A and B are shown apart, each in its own frame.
Chain A
Amino acid sequence: DAGVIQSPRHEVTEMGQEVTLRCKPISGHDYLFWYRQTMMRGLELLIYFNNNVPIDDSGMPEDRFSAKMPNASFSTLKIQPSEPRDSAVYFCASTTEVGVSALGGYTFGSGTRLTVV
Chain B
Amino acid sequence: GENVEQHPSTLSVQEGDSAVIKCTYSDSASNYFPWYKQELGKRPQLIIDIRSNVGEKKDQRIAVTLNKTAKHFSLHITETQPEDSAVYFCAASFPLSGGYNKLIFGAGTRLAVHP
**Residues A55 and B32 in contact, CB atoms below 8 Å apart:** no
**Residues A102 and B43 in contact, CB atoms below 8 Å apart:** no
**Residues A55 and B51 in contact, CB atoms below 8 Å apart:** no
**Residues A102 and B51 in contact, CB atoms below 8 Å apart:** yes
Contact size range, B:
20 to 34
Within 8 Å of chain B (Cβ to Cβ): is A45? yes
> Which residues on A are within 8 Å of B, measured CB to CB?
33, 42-43, 45, 48, 50, 55-56, 91, 101-103, 105-111
**Residues A103 and B43 in contact, CB atoms below 8 Å apart:** no
Q: Which residue of B lies closest to A6 (CB)?
A: B43
Interface of A is mostly: strand
Q: Which of B1-57 contact A (CB under 8 A)?
A: 31-32, 34, 36, 42-46, 49, 51
- Report if A48-B105 is in contact (Cβ < 8 Å); known contacts: A56-B96, A102-B32: no
Q: Which residue of A lies closest to B107 (CB)?
A: A42
Interface of B is mostly: strand
- Minimum CB–CB distance from B57 to chain A (whole Å) comes to 13
**Residues B103 and A101 in contact, CB atoms below 8 Å apart:** no
Q: Among A45, A107, A110, A111, which residue has the most Cβ atoms of chain B within 10 A? A: A45
Q: Which 7 A-B pairs have the closest CB atoms?
A: A105-B46, A43-B105, A108-B43, A42-B107, A101-B99, A108-B44, A55-B100
- Minimum CB–CB distance from A54 to chain B (whole Å) comes to 11
Given contacts A48-B102, A55-B96, 7 further A-B contacts (CB under 8 A): A42-B106, A50-B100, A55-B98, A56-B96, A105-B34, A106-B34, A108-B36
> Which residues on B are within 8 Å of A, measured CB to CB?
31-32, 34, 36, 42-46, 49, 51, 89, 93, 96, 98-108
**Residues B49 and A56 in contact, CB atoms below 8 Å apart:** no
**Cβ of B103: which chain A residues have Cβ within 8 Å of it?**
33, 45, 103, 106
**Residues B106 and A106 in contact, CB atoms below 8 Å apart:** no
- Minimum CB–CB distance from A88 to chain B (whole Å) comes to 14
- Report if A91-B104 is in contact (Cβ < 8 Å); known contacts: A55-B96, A55-B98, A102-B51: no
**Cβ of A43: which chain B residues have Cβ within 8 Å of it?**
44, 89, 105, 108
**Residues B43 and A42 in contact, CB atoms below 8 Å apart:** no
**Residues A103 and B105 in contact, CB atoms below 8 Å apart:** no
